[in-house]
């Protein structure tokens, strides 16, 4: 069961006060402020390079679950990342030579601050938090993963979306040279996802840059991915290169590929079966082939925190 209750505490208020910018980070932050992109937080994210590089000054989040986390091997060798292949082990095998740095992000659409940003400049003004989240895949399996990331709401506030922005659209890198899965036609590349503005601004939603206190592995979506723990895993778009604030509900990759099977909202709902299997029960990865299944929880166990986002919405029709 989840140990946290709904929280309205701003990320800036739960950041440890001891994490202040050092002189170098302060000077870099001043340069960013001159460019019009900096957030008023007490700690600055530093993203080192290199395989399994440690992340510094990561604070624990009160929004984490109390469940036992999966092993590092579970989380990094059993993945859905079709850009590197459709098999669960393909991303681990095929993403090792992927180069996630240098990396740029384009911000577009209905916002005051748009343009192209270097990854380091995009995330540096923010504090890193570890969020232990229960994650549910549509194929009836789940994991508990200690993500390290930044509340997406913090970044969105600095980008200053206008009143016309009703949704946030995300896009993955398209690079068939580095991503061999994109050489097939299994999906319409590049991968695209979207959230309502309310979903994107919810305190549980993060941009993940690491896991287990280390930089994000390639097969898990390096260098930047979306984590929305109350939704099915296909909402967790990886290797993001574009963020766009739009007025109309954006077309998303799996909803385009199988509109009868994958809706825009993708909320975990055990009462709505996938056309090809039941969603009522799930098996925890790492428990072995014959591990018993457990009941699937509404909104993946986060109903207390997020159910209010969908008041009045028919969750069978809007799946």
pLDDT (0 to 100) of residue 75: 98
More confident residue, 40 or 224: 224
In a domain, 43, yes or no: yes
pLDDT beyond 90 at 8: no
In a domain, 306, yes or no: yes
Q: Contact at 8 Å (CB) between 14 and 62?
A: yes
The whole-number average pLDDT for the span 236-259 is 98
Ranking 11-20, 45-54, 111-120, 150-159 by mean pLDDT, the lowest is 11-20
- Give Cβ neighbours of residue 74 (< 8 Å, ≥ 6 apart): 143, 285, 286
In a domain, 2, yes or no: no
Phi and psi at 243, nearest 5°, equal: -130, 125
pLDDT beyond 50 at 13: no
- The domain of 241 spans 11-310
In a domain, 232, yes or no: yes
Segment 259-271, tens digit of pLDDT? 999 999 999 999 9
Lateral strand order in the sheet of 115-118: 115-118, 104-109, 240-246, 167-172, 192-196
pLDDT beyond 60 at 240: yes
pLDDT (0 to 100) of residue 87: 97
pLDDT beyond 50 at 17: no
What pLDDT band is residue 44 in, cutting at 50, 70 and 90? confident
In a domain, 4, yes or no: no
* Cα→Cα distances 160→29, 115, 245, 303, 309, Å: 18, 13, 10, 28, 21
Q: Which one, of 274, 312, 308, lies nearest residue 141 by Cα?
A: 274
Segment 56-102, tens digit of pLDDT? 999 999 999 999 999 999 999 999 999 999 999 999 999 999 999 99
Segment 137-160, tens digit of pLDDT? 999 999 999 999 999 999 999 999
Would you call 91 helix, strand, or coil by DSSP?
helix
pLDDT beyond 70 at 244: yes
In a domain, 6, yes or no: no
What pLDDT band is residue 18 in, cutting at 50, 70 and 90? very low
Q: Contact at 8 Å (CB) between 54 and 214?
A: yes
Question: Which CATH number goes with the domain that contains 55?
Answer: 3.90.420.10
pLDDT (0 to 100) of residue 241: 98
* Buried/exposed 247-264: b ≥16 CB within 10 Å, e otherwise: eeebebbbbeeeeeebbb
What pLDDT band is residue 312 in, cutting at 50, 70 and 90? very high
Query: What are the helix (H) ranges across the chain?
Result: 11-14, 23-35, 72-77, 90-94, 119-123, 152-159, 197-200, 253-257, 303-306
Count structural domains, the chain. Answer: 1
pLDDT beyond 80 at 43: no
In a domain, 319, yes or no: no
pLDDT beyond 50 at 21: no
Q: What is the mean pLDDT of the chain?
A: 88
Q: Which one, of 83, 58, 38, 60, lies nearest residue 225 by Cα?
A: 83
pTM for the predicted model, two decimal places: 0.87
Separation CA 305–CA 52 (nearest Å): 32
In a domain, 29, yes or no: yes
- Give Cβ neighbours of residue 218 (< 8 Å, ≥ 6 apart): 91, 95, 96, 98, 100
pLDDT beyond 60 at 27: no
Query: What are the helix (H) ranges across 196-275?
Result: 197-200, 253-257
């Amino acid at each position: 069961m989840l140990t946290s209750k709904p929280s309205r505490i701003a990320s800036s208020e739960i950041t440890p006060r001891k994490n202040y910018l050092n002189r170098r980070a302060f000077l870099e932050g001043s340069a960013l402020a001159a460019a019009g992109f900096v957030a008023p937080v007490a700690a600055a994210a530093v993203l080192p390079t290199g395989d399994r590089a440690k992340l510094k000054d990561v604070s624990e989040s009160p929004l984490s679950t109390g469940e036992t986390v999966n092993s590092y091997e579970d989380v990094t060798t059993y993945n859905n990342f079709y850009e590197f292949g459709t098999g669960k082990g393909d991303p681990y095998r095929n993403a090792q030579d992927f180069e996630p740095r240098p990396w740029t992000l384009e911000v577009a659409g209905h916002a005051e601050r748009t343009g192209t940003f270097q990854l380091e400049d995009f995330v540096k003004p923010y504090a890193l938090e570890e969020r232990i989240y229960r994650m549910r895949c549509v194929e009836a399996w789940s994991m508990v993963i200690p993500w390290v990331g930044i509340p997406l709401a913090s970044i969105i506030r600095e980008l200053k979306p206008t009143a016309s922005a009703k949704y946030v659209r995300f896009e993955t890198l398209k690079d068939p040279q580095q991503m061999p899965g994109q050489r097939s036609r299994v999906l319409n590349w590049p991968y695209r996802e979207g959230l309502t503005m309310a979903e994107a601004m919810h305190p549980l939603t993060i941009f993940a840059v690491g896991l287990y206190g280390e930089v994000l592995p390639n097969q898990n979506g390096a260098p930047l991915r979306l984590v929305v723990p109350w939704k099915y895993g296909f909402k967790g778009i990886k290797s993001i290169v574009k963020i766009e604030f739009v007025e109309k509900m954006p077309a998303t990759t799996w909803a385009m590929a199988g509109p009868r099977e994958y809706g825009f909202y993708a909320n975990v709902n055990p009462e709505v079966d996938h056309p090809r299997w039941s969603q009522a029960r799930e098996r925890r990865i790492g428990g072995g082939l014959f591990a018993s299944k457990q009941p699937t929880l509404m909104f993946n166990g986060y109903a207390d925190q997020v159910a209010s986002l969908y008041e009045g919405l028919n969750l069978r029709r809007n799946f």
